[in-house]
Structure 1
Amino acid sequence: MTTAATPPPLLSVRDLKVHFPVRRGLLQRQVGTVRAVDGVSFDVERGATLGLVGESGCGKSTTGRGILRLVPPTSGSVKIDGREILTLDPGALRKARREMQMIFQDPYASLNPRMTVHDLIAEPLSTHGLVSSRDEALREVARLMELVGLSPSYMRRYPHEFSGGQRQRIGIARALALKPKLVIADEPVSALDVSIQAQIVNLLASLQRELSLTYVFVAHDLAVVRHLSSEIAVMYLGRIVERARPDELFRSPQHPYTQALLSAIPIPDPDVERTRRRLPLVGEVPSPLNPPSGCHFHTRCPYTMDRCSAEAPPLEERRPGHWAACHLTELPTAPTHP
């Protein structure tokens, strides 16, 4: 229960589901349902970062898009600053979007190639009536470009004249134009060179401190989100299977899937890397069109038992602030990451 001393989280997600009907034939009859997100719940405190990680196809990007209603959620609740988002009419949703923005994964595809940098960044300002003149728009675009480390002298250039890292900075400036409280970063560094990834992560961290931003940082790489996140949630086939603070998660993973992900992260020490024990995953991720019964992970889990295929484990608090969805109360010792 929230008191005056403990303000509510900025973002509160409860039992969010995003299902897509699969239709075939001339009559487009529904033949199944893709359960892309299947009952996700979490809170993100003001000024904090939730890292949402997992393999491709686990539903993490769809979760972010469902929060912003860029894809229509099937059911659940999403509250930003205590305000329910999923029931807003289109007009109210348009106003609410000033408080929540997204940084997209691909800086090559997310920027209109026919628009200059000035027009790309100024568009949301004019759409929402935040600037009253061309001169005011010029000043605000220049301020935003400087904020993300770009020279305002570049504002008349087009996206193709910039590198991938510079284009992502333009996307970040555009997302910040409306001064949002919440930013969903959908794998913002996965399309960039490794040498540029750290620059963008450091930029997002400094902007968070400067502007008191709250992030949901979507990634498939645990190592990328470790230093930026206040908490990490691991997703598998539409569900959160583990959630904890980064140091706790890396030191003592409580779900076999998290153990496997951590064991796949390379360690920059040849002696340690050569002798460490791996926990390889067998087989492919099952289809969300026909997910396994019970625990979705049981078809690939090295510790599976009869109960796993019959009963889905609830996400339970194993220790303070550390949640896991696994029927085993104690996992065998497994490789972790320093």
Structure 2
Amino acid sequence: MTVTPADRARGIEPGAPVKVAASGGTVTDVVVTDDKGAKVPGTVKDGVWTPASRLGLDSAYSVRSVVTLADGRAQTATSSFRTLKPEATAKYTLLPSDDTVGVGMPAIVQFASSVKTPQQRAEVERSMKVTTEPAVEGSWGWLDDRQLMWRPKDYWKPGTKVTMDARLAGLQTGEGKYVGRNDTKTFTIGRSQVSTVDMKTHHLTVVRDGQQVKNIPVTTGKPGFITRSGTKVIMEKVGAMTMDSATVGIPKGNPEYYKLDTKWNMRITWTGEFLHAAPWSQWAQGRRNVSHGCTNMGLDDARWMFESSMVGDVVQFTGSDRPFKPTEGIGVWQYSWPQWQQQSALR
């Protein structure tokens, strides 16, 4: 009887099968137990035991193999092995963090570091599951090698319940780098709110559950700081913050440098675009574009927008020739449905 991994082997891959070969008999059972003696779920076929899910990292396991001889007698062998200890642990977060979100929010797996190869990204997808109530057609896709997102074909229907199940523990994402844990996340889709910013007419219209509820005069990016056109998603809300242009490449000493305390801020890109109150530009709102790329509103309008919005709400921008790149925010809606499906590593 020959067992692979060999007895006392170390550094074994967490997803590796246990293979038992027998001469003069038939392998009838293979049982794997952890260091506490608990049976590890798995299936046995033709002398190969395959784990139901990847084994733990840097963990010890015992194998009991049973071979039935031609005369009916059973012969048993025992062995042990230890899985590998990774050089680095791959960390990830399931998003959104909010329990109730807008109709544009995808289910997100955000890795802290890159998932290096197409094969590894495909294995990440195979290890993820999204369940929706009611059932919704959707697809996984990668924005880059750290961001995996699942979006429905069209915007979510209000009330949809979404559950993400990440069975990623033991998965390799780079040289010597493995995921250390599994996770789950559930969120619910709230009411529908889709806003449109027309940068040529300088107005923001808010449509909730199919009905226009607000029309707000705004100002957007001036020449040299043009606001991006495209379909964006509110990523976070911050009641008060200090905006320092040095964080977006406009340093102190530059004539365009600014450092301002702002209220009612709604982030829509990682590159510094927000919807927010800007009483200093109220003279231009509804008339001209004078901002550094943000969408400026008066204090009362911004407060109304802030209180009426949630993370995941859609904001569509039209009227500029500067496109919003998908990686600059939650850019899943910048793709048509066929294009988005092609972002999957399984295509």
Please give the TM-score of this superposition, normalised by the length of structure 2: 0.24
The structure with the greater share of residues assigned to helix is 1
Please give the TM-score of this superposition, normalised by the length of structure 1: 0.24
